[in-house]
Amino acid sequence: MKYRKLHTYLVREIETNEFVRWQGDKTIFFAGSVEDALIGLPKDLFEAVRVCDAPEDIQREYEQRIDECIASGEIELSRLIPTEIKVDVHYYIDDEGKPQFDTDEMSAEFVRKLNELEKTFS
């Protein structure tokens, strides 16, 4: 399972290229946004890296950590699945000045986002 690798971030120390771990149990640290990943850290020394952009061994370690969190109840699987999919409204103004909605493009965008979500959990 991929567990939202596109939207989850790890922290890497720039100078050593090492990924940050929790002090206590030395497990890999992860966060849901760049801001959360770098909170309290000097941005000239650390960077946030999307899980999908990390080396394969680090991605596997992240997946194993998520599996452990789900098994322990620390993370509920239902919290990993988004409850809504937002789609941009596509329209143009016709010759009469009325908006014409491009439902085909909105449907296609929804399908693209749904496919991405399915890949995330495949």
Separation CA 79–CA 77 (nearest Å):
5
Q: How would DSSP label each residue in 49-78?
A: EEGGGS-HHHHHHHHHHHHHHHHHTSS-HH
Kindly tell me if the per-residue pLDDT of 6 is higher than 80: no
Question: Residue 108 to residues 27, 112, 119: CA-CA distances in angstroms?
Answer: 40, 6, 16
Q: Express each pLDDT in 44-77 by its tens digit.
A: 999 999 998 999 999 999 988 888 888 888 877 6
For the chain, the straight-line distance linking the first and the last C-alpha, in angstroms and rounded, comes to 6
pLDDT higher than 80, residue 78: no
Residue 120 predicted with pLDDT over 90: no
Where helices occur in 1-122 by DSSP H, the ranges are: 34-38, 56-72, 77-80, 103-120
Domain coordinates in residue numbering, the chain: 9-80, 91-120
